[in-house]
Structure 1
Amino acid sequence: MNILKAIFFRLLKINKKPSALEAFILNKIKENLEEKEACLWEKQINDINKVYRSPDKEEIIFYRMRNGHPYNDISISFINKSDEILIAKVLLTSVNNAALSLEASVWCVNGFVSIINYNHGNYVDYFEEYIGEVGLDELAVECEILANLSETVLN
């Protein structure tokens, strides 16, 4: 039964945790947040237990599941609970080939880290392999925080 389940999830591009590239991007953002937001950020990322990747690899959706249903623990949500807010953009560029770059836009939905959108889904595999083979030292990284996660927003 576990083998069938694994095949099913693999076919649907569903995993339980963020990939190395996704974790790297999320960690870069955390490093640029204020201490309180960084703590909540880490708790939210650690709570992710389902990841959907679109077939074109341009959209990644993070879920926190309980008993088969999406669940968000409000004790770890950000104060800013906008319906959808662009938190940050992270630009990754290959030091060996400046023409190869990947921009990740990271979004919060209702106070929770929820989505990564890539500008070039066809580069995702390249950067996943690049990180694994060459390491992070050969990667130029720019991170721009675009939203205040501590701002009170009424929906």
Structure 2
Amino acid sequence: MKQPIPTIVFIFLSLCAQAHNGYIDSLQRVLKQASDFNKKIAIQQQIADWYRSSEQYSEAISMANLSLQNSLDISSHNLDVTRSYWLLSNIYTNMENFEMAREYVDKAYQSAEAQNSPLPMAYAHYAEVILQRTLFDADIPIQKLHEALSKIKHPKE
């Protein structure tokens, strides 16, 4: 009677692992087929974030840096640059490399300020929130979340 339960659990975990591999494989295929440069950057960021959440940090850093470089090739003043810095700060925060995380948060702020647009600044604030929350500072994340939300345009009611 006890034998079927471990077998069922093993089968379930195997299927979950295959689903995760299928997801990243499909993103890799879409990336190879994408012709639009902006779409490639978005997919690279999505792949990097998947690697980050899967704790495959070297792959996450590599893909996020590729996204950053491609974004900078378009222009140093675009949302994808800020988003790439945000992503790199999240990766390094997850790795508990807070010095590098701080460096990328600062770069996200510099990029956002150069763009003079609310959405990049919201990403920079969000990067700060993730770092400060990880460092257990309760006041700064709340303040920065309010600042980030105030930057985003809300639909008129």
Q: TM-score range by the shorter chain?
A: under 0.3
- Flag the structure with higher strand content: 1
* Structure number having the greater helix percentage: 2
Higher RCO (CA-CA < 8 Å; seq separation 6+): 1
